[in-house]
Amino acid sequence: MRGIDISKHNGAVNWAQVKADGVQFAILRAGYGKEASQKDTQFEANYIGCKAQGIPCGAYWYSYAATPAEARQEAAVCLSFLKGKTFAFPIYFDIEEQKVLAQGKTACTAIAKAFLETVEKAGYFVGIYSSKSYLESCFTEELRTRYAVWVAHYGVEKTTYHGQYGIWQKSSTGKVSGIRGNVDMNECYTDYPAAIRKKGLNGFKAVQTAATAKPAQAKSWKKGQAVHIGSNVPLFANETTTTPASRLTAGTYYIYDGVPCKLGRYRITTTAANCGRTPVGKYVTGYVSWDNFK
Written as one string, the DSSP assignment of the chain is: -EEEEE-GGG-S--HHHHHHTT--EEEEEEEESSSGGGB-TTHHHHHHHHHHHT--EEEEEE----SHHHHHHHHHHHHHHHTT---SS-EEEE---HHHHTT-HHHHHHHHHHHHHHHHHTT--EEEEEEHHHHHHHS-HHHHHHSEEEEE--SSSS---SS--SEEEEEEEE--TTS-S-EEEEEE-S-HHHHHHHHT-TTPPPP--TTTSS-GGGG-PPTT-EEEE-TTEEEBSSSS-SS-SEEEPSEEEEESS----GGGEEEEESSGGGTT-SSHHHH--EEEEGGGB-
**Whole-model pTM above 0.75?**
no
* pLDDT tens, position by position, 247-290: 888 889 999 999 988 878 899 999 999 999 999 889 999 999 88
Q: Kindly state whether residues 35 and 157 are assigned to the same domain.
A: yes
Q: Kindly state whether residues 9 and 93 are assigned to the same domain.
A: yes
Average pLDDT (36-54) is 95
Q: Would 211 be classed as within a structural domain?
A: no
Per-residue model confidence (pLDDT) at position 219: 60
Among residues of the chain, what percentage have pLDDT more than 90?
80
Task: Assess whether pLDDT exceeds 60 at residue 214.
Answer: no
Q: Kindly state whether residues 44 and 136 are assigned to the same domain.
A: yes
Q: Would 172 be classed as within a structural domain?
A: yes
Q: Kindly state whether residues 151 and 108 are assigned to the same domain.
A: yes
Q: Kindly state whether residues 236 and 278 are assigned to the same domain.
A: yes
* CATH at residue 161: 3.20.20.80
Residue where one domain finishes, among candidates 148, 164, 199: 199
Residue where one domain finishes, among candidates 149, 164, 199: 199
Q: Mean pLDDT for the chain?
A: 92
The residue range of the domain holding 65 is 2-199
* pLDDT tens, position by position, 121-179: 999 999 999 999 999 999 999 999 999 999 999 999 999 999 999 999 999 999 999 99
Q: Kindly state whether residues 62 and 115 are assigned to the same domain.
A: yes
Please report which confidence band the pLDDT of residue 9 belongs to, taking 50, 70 and 90 as the band edges: very high
Q: Kindly state whether residues 220 and 195 are assigned to the same domain.
A: no
Q: Would 52 be classed as within a structural domain?
A: yes
Number of separate domains in the chain: 2
